[in-house]
A and B are shown apart, each in its own frame.
Chain A
């Protein structure tokens, strides 16, 4: 649910702000002599697909609960047994994936899923989506503002070389962003440490360098690469459309990990999930005005590049 709120709010906010406020070009379709925008309908369809992607894996749980009335009270093998027979354990744990006993069996930290926590999760998802939209929006908004200030808004090629360099995704922009990321994170860490010390008398949070060394670096590198590609896609395709594509493909990628790696999605849920994935990706019809003039070959390259970038 958190993921869908994050992705949907990100996609919708980016689309509305950059279409209505920043006046990005959106393709108009002529139906019965009327010029209409189909992009909002595609966006709604993408959001429906996103909801389906998130809820499809839960089909197995509900099916199991129906066929197995005692699913909620299944006895879960101890952690040692579970690790010896992972497949059996997975089979047994699947129907009660959200059961607190199942979580305890793995020894992983448990968190209560009360209304407050759920609400907090939704707020976090919303915050993630809104801030994510602003992050990529800064690229285009900044570029427009600086071009306007330099008097080259209508003819970007005539902008000063320094201005073009500032927003070059394969050059200075990445360095400025990296410096900004380091500065902002350090500020947040300082604030958090001071807050913990002053308000709760606690020490600063531990770095867990030994534990986080490999997974933290892998995640960081994955993100850095994704951010690089995302910024490039955003600069090329505009925030209004690209953000929805990125959010949807992010959801599909997460789902593929769940499908092939975690084995979370199986049986009927797997087919429903695949259908939702095809639906979500399939809604990415050309929506920007300039795509209407592309040849089939160029358009194919555009979408292929978008897929690789996301």
Chain B
């Protein structure tokens, strides 16, 4: 959870000034898609899918929570500090850059 804001702080995303709800929509999309992966063990063990509105209630709190986090952290909090670091803001895919940095250190 602590890693998910990292890709959003790339220079391109900051410059595009993406609306927090759009960012949240990408998160929701992947939660929606990966949620269906859970059907594999359900049907593999000959069970059936049982819907519950508590899942929707939980998601109804999760979306505003994510929205508030993006507004608070990305737009008001650490954005300016991270944006002021050109060496890191230029990278496009943080995990690869991190790996490169680690391998440089090990060499």
CB of B59 to closest CB in A, whole Å? 3
Which of B3, B19, B30 contacts A220 (CB under 8 A)? B30
A228 to chain B, nearest CB (A): 7
Query: Does any Cβ of B come within 8 Å of A208's Cβ?
Result: yes
Instruction: Take A181-B32, A220-B29 as given contacts and tell me if A79 and B86 are in contact as well, using a CB distance cutoff of 8 Å.
Output: yes
Query: Which residues of B have CB within 8 Å of A90?
Result: 85-87
B16 near A: Cβ within 8 Å?
yes
A162 contacts across to B, CB distance below 8 A: 50
**In the complex, A297 has a CB within 8 A of chain B:** no
> Is A108 a contact of B89 with CB atoms below 8 Å?
yes
Whether B35 contacts A175 by the Cβ 8 Å rule is: yes
| Chain A, 210-242, CB within 8 A of any chain B CB | 211-212, 214-228, 230
Residue A214 contacts which of B7, B28, B30, B38 (CB distance < 8 angstroms)?
B7
B23: A residues at CB distance < 8 A:
212, 216, 219
In chain A, what residue has the closest Cβ to B59? A180
Question: Which residue of A is nearest B72, CB measured?
Answer: A124
How would residues 2 to 20 of chain B score, 1 for a CB under 8 Å from any chain A CB and 0 otherwise? Answer: 1111111011111111110
In contact, B51 and A166 (Cβ under 8 angstroms): yes
Whole-angstrom CA separation of A196 from B54 in the bound complex? 30
Number of B residues near A (Cβ < 8 Å) is 89
Report the minimum CB–CB distance from A33 to chain B (whole Å).
42
Q: Is the CB of B82 within 8 A of A264?
A: yes
Chain A residue at smallest Cβ distance from B37:
A174
Q: Which residues of B contact A134 (CB under 8 A)?
A: 61, 65
A294 proximity list for chain B (CB < 8 A) = none
A61 vs chain B, min Cβ distance (A)? 9
A182-224 vs B: 1/0 string, CB under 8 Å?
Answer: 1111001100100000000000011110011011111111111
| A interface residues, Cβ below 8 angstroms from B | 1-3, 5-6, 79, 82-83, 86-87, 89-90, 93, 96-99, 102-103, 105-111, 113, 117-118, 120-122, 124-125, 127-132, 134-136, 138-139, 141-143, 146, 161-163, 165-168, 170-185, 188-189, 192, 205-208, 211-212, 214-228, 230, 246, 249-257, 260-264, 310
Which 3 residue pairs of A and B lie closest in terms of their CB atoms, listed nearest first? A178-B35, A253-B2, A176-B55
Q: A138-B54, A171-B38, A189-B21 are in contact. List 15 more A-B contacts (CB 8 A).
A: A6-B68, A106-B85, A108-B11, A109-B83, A113-B80, A121-B71, A135-B62, A138-B61, A141-B54, A172-B42, A180-B56, A180-B59, A183-B56, A217-B26, A228-B34
